[in-house]
Amino acid sequence: MRPMTMIKALGGLLVALVLAAVAILLTLDVNRYKGTIQEEVQRLTGRKLVLEGDLSLSLGLTPKLIVNKARLTNASWGSRPDMVSVERVEAAIELLPALRGDIRLTRVVLVKPDILLETDKKGTGNWEMTPELPAVAPAPSTASAPAPAASAPAAPAGSGGASVPFIGALDIEKAHITLKDAAKGTTTTFDFDALTLSAPSPSDPLTLSVKGAYNAIPYQIAGKLGPLQALLGPASAPFPVDLKGDFGGVALSAAGQIKDPKAVQGVALKISVKADSYAGLKGLVPAEGVPPVTLSGDLSGGGAAWKISALEAVVAKTALTGSVAVNTAGPRPKVDAALKSPAVDLREWFGATETVLPSAPAKGAKPSQPSTPAGGQAKKVLPSDPLHLDALRSVDAKADVQVARLTLPNSMVLEAVAVQAALDNGRLKLTPAQAKIGEGLVAVTLDMTAAPAGTAGIAALTADVKLDKVVLGRLFEQAGKPDLLSAVPTSGTISAKGHGASVAALLASLDGAVTISMGQGRIHNSVIDWIGGDIFAQIGEALDPSSQRPPYTELACGEIHLKSTKGLMDWNKQIAFETTRMNLVSSGSLNLATEGLDVGVQPYTKSGTGLSAGKLAELLRLQGTLGQPRVGIDAMAAVGAVASVGAAAATGGLSTVVGALIGGATADTTPCATARGEKAKGGTQNSSSQSGTQPAKQAPTGPAGVLNGIGGLLKSN
């Protein structure tokens, strides 16, 4: 037989065989194989597959199998009977490669799949399946030799012993995926209106396009991913990622690679976020009040540990650089942040605010008094609401923040701001936080421990504040109020220790000290009135009711030196101010537990000022409470003040040193030096030139103090 004749005969035979195969397949009822398919799936997965609808098969070089209404049962401990249900599945397979054992699905379509992925309280996932291996018949038992152990190799859990086929294109329509974590009690939902994954071959990257919703927040993503085999099979080479998308109106992008995409480990991506509006992030971010954000950086890590390095962010008009790391593996999330900014303007975030100073009461007007609630008890000023600080125990953190220029909502400017903070199991430490302010320096050191979980307040607080040459006038100038205060360089320290469930309880336990020294400057009287309400207006009018009060007070110096022991603050001539018209010296007590006041102020006139020396000789006394203070300046109040010193010495009561102000009625020409504890000059008020070189004597307490006080008053009037 000639070769050509043989080729034609073989060709005709092949055509006949194909036609015969097609004829057989056309008459084949694939529904007859439902049982076989269900049994094979159960053998491979250990789960029951239920095929409720019909199966159909379309022929061609890429035959397509169609399955209608199928569901796969859930784990025995699952929260619902089915792990997966689907309205329709279409799978097209390449025929010729399949004859060689190379399974290639050119296209898989899932219509309305409903998938539940959940874990139990031990962390076991319902996707972890155990294949049903074929039973091994036991060997006959003999007395002389034990039966050999079955040596059938165990298939890896979840693998079913089958290789993962290549899928050229995956289309998902109207999918709903639910993620449930029983240990954390959380539920997350993903909806896919349309998802397409496609690749020409197993080694080619996937093209991704998806549109759907996450917890009802719309999103869309498009771009390139690594091969689908890397997602379905064992990890080998890094999995490339190049995606762009939109999440609730926030633009997102990510490019880089993932070492193990199935475990989400070894992530190394360059990411970017741009949010001009948050209206689409329902429930996640407030729609108003949050500034626009543009962010880029390098995202690395995986699982519980993540880090953004080379961070560049713009919040409103504020630029930030640095890094942020988060680790959720421990008992509390840990955050480690290092951030720098050339300028932060909080007016952009919270809006600009302006300090409004109330005007002083009109001359002769009756001073306002705080309202007194029913029962006759004056309302307390210090807040007694419980301090809820449980949030301090919910996260551990370290932060190193540096801002070259920080503008506060009231336009006050802080420069060279540096904050080093650490939070560990409810203990917050600043070591320290400092800034240049008003041409000077402020440094704050803080160590605070929140009360145990479930209780309110502060278990322990230690704070120290240091002011070095802070020019107060500069702060008013920055706030646009240069006419209210100028100069007044201020230095000092504030230290405090305490504990308590509220601000009031904390201050009632306070141990500490205040040491403030103020230099020369000019203060508008409206600032003084604002600081002290109308109390200072009453004082000014009571001291000199006949004179016109000037708008400014020229300050030569000021000293404030206070000590607090368990909330009781007292001072003896340790508050002093020297002005061009008079000097003021104060002694007194403030009980932070009861808010009780007993404060004496002794003014001393200066010659040529036109002030009434006789009036200024009287002791001015402030009593009552912080919420309802009372001012008295007559001689009987002075005698009572002195008498209270003797009583306090015997009983340990509140008033301890008020009467010392008028002992001997001496006029201290250098009260600031006296307040600092330096040797001061003294003399009588009306003849200071004769006695100004005599040292001031400490007024005796008890009855002797009363007599000296009365004598001083008589001489002065």
pLDDT digits (tens, 9 = 90+) for 494-522: 999 999 999 999 999 999 999 999 999 99
Q: What is the mean pLDDT of residues 56-71?
A: 81
Long-range contacts of the stretch 602-605 (C-beta < 8 A, 24+): 602/661, 602/662, 603/543, 604/667, 604/668, 604/671, 604/685, 605/581, 605/685
Q: Which residue has the higher pLDDT, 367 or 155?
A: 367
- Cα dihedral 280, 285, 286, 287 in deg (nearest 10): -20
Question: Which strand (E) or helix (H) includes residue 262?
Answer: none
How many whole angstroms separate alpha carbon 626 and alpha carbon 644? 20
| Residue pair 302/326 in contact by the 8 Å Cβ criterion | no
pLDDT band (50, 70, 90) for residue 651: very low
Residue 429 CB contacts under 8 Å (≥ 6 apart), including other chains: 421, 422, 423, 446, 447, 448
pLDDT band (50, 70, 90) for residue 604: confident
φ, ψ of residue 690 to 5 degrees: the values are -90, -30
For residue 633, the SS3 value is coil
Q: Calculate what percentage of the chain has a pLDDT beyond 70.
A: 70
Q: Which among 325, 321, 316 is positioned nearest to 345, based on CA atoms?
A: 316
Examine residue 251 and state whether it is found in any structural domain, yes or no.
Answer: no
Q: What is the mean pLDDT of residues 139-154?
A: 40
pLDDT band (50, 70, 90) for residue 23: low
Looking at the predicted structure, is the pLDDT value of residue 367 above 80?
no
Q: How many residues does the chain have?
A: 717
Q: What is the mean pLDDT of residues 373-400?
A: 84
Examine residue 591 and state whether it is found in any structural domain, yes or no.
Answer: yes
Examine residue 711 and state whether it is found in any structural domain, yes or no.
Answer: yes
Among 16-30, 80-94, 546-560, which is the least confidently predicted range? 16-30
Tally Cβ neighbours within 10 Å of residue 626: 18
Q: Which DSSP letter does residue 366 get? A: P
Q: What type of residue sits at position 279?
A: A
For residue 48, the SS3 value is coil
Q: Which residue has the higher pLDDT, 229 or 115?
A: 115
| Residue pair 462/512 in contact by the 8 Å Cβ criterion | no
**Phi-psi bin for 279: left (phi > 0), alpha (psi -120 to 50), beta?**
alpha
Q: What is the mean pLDDT of residues 218-245?
A: 84
How many whole angstroms separate alpha carbon 132 and alpha carbon 48? 11
Distances (CA, A) of 573 to 584, 601, 618, 634, 693: 9, 9, 16, 20, 19
How many whole angstroms separate alpha carbon 299 and alpha carbon 270? 6
Rank 432-441, 572-581, 687-696 by mean pLDDT and report only the highest.
Answer: 432-441
Examine residue 180 and state whether it is found in any structural domain, yes or no.
Answer: yes
Among 234-238, 390-394, 592-596, 695-699, which is the least confidently predicted range? 695-699
Looking at the predicted structure, is the pLDDT value of residue 640 above 50?
no
Chain CA centroid to CA 636, Å: 56
Q: Which DSSP letter does residue 237 get? A: S
Greatest extent of the chain over all pairs of C-alpha atoms, in Å: 153
Examine residue 214 and state whether it is found in any structural domain, yes or no.
Answer: no
Query: What pLDDT, on the 0 to 100 scale, is given for residue 133?
Result: 57
Distances (CA, A) of 302 to 188, 268, 306: 19, 9, 6
Residue environment code for 518-536, b if the CB has 16+ CB neighbours within 10 A, otherwise e? bbebbbbbbbbbbeebbbb
pLDDT band (50, 70, 90) for residue 486: very high
φ, ψ of residue 373 to 5 degrees: the values are -70, 170
Examine residue 102 and state whether it is found in any structural domain, yes or no.
Answer: yes
pLDDT band (50, 70, 90) for residue 157: very low
Query: What pLDDT, on the 0 to 100 scale, is given for residue 530?
Result: 58
* Residue 291, CB-side half-sphere exposure with 13 Å CA sphere: 18
Examine residue 242 and state whether it is found in any structural domain, yes or no.
Answer: no
Q: Which among 463, 498, 466 is positioned nearest to 387, based on CA atoms?
A: 498
Among 291-300, 479-488, 566-575, which is the least confidently predicted range? 479-488
Burial class of 79 by CB neighbour count within 10 A (0 to 12, 13 to 18, 19+) = middle
The number of distinct structural domains making up the chain is 2
pLDDT digits (tens, 9 = 90+) for 263-296: 889 999 999 999 998 888 877 887 677 888 999 9
The residue among 198, 217, 243 that closes a domain is 198
Query: What pLDDT, on the 0 to 100 scale, is given for residue 484?
Result: 85
The residue among 198, 221, 247 that closes a domain is 198
Mean pLDDT of the chain, nearest integer: 78
Q: Which DSSP letter does residue 157 get? A: T
How many whole angstroms separate alpha carbon 243 and alpha carbon 271? 10
How many whole angstroms separate alpha carbon 109 and alpha carbon 197? 11
Domain assignment of residue 117, given as a range: 26-125+164-198
Q: Calculate what percentage of the chain has a pLDDT beyond 90.
A: 42
pLDDT band (50, 70, 90) for residue 545: low
| Residue pair 479/412 in contact by the 8 Å Cβ criterion | yes
Examine residue 666 and state whether it is found in any structural domain, yes or no.
Answer: yes
Q: Which residue has the higher pLDDT, 357 or 452?
A: 452
| Residue pair 692/682 in contact by the 8 Å Cβ criterion | yes
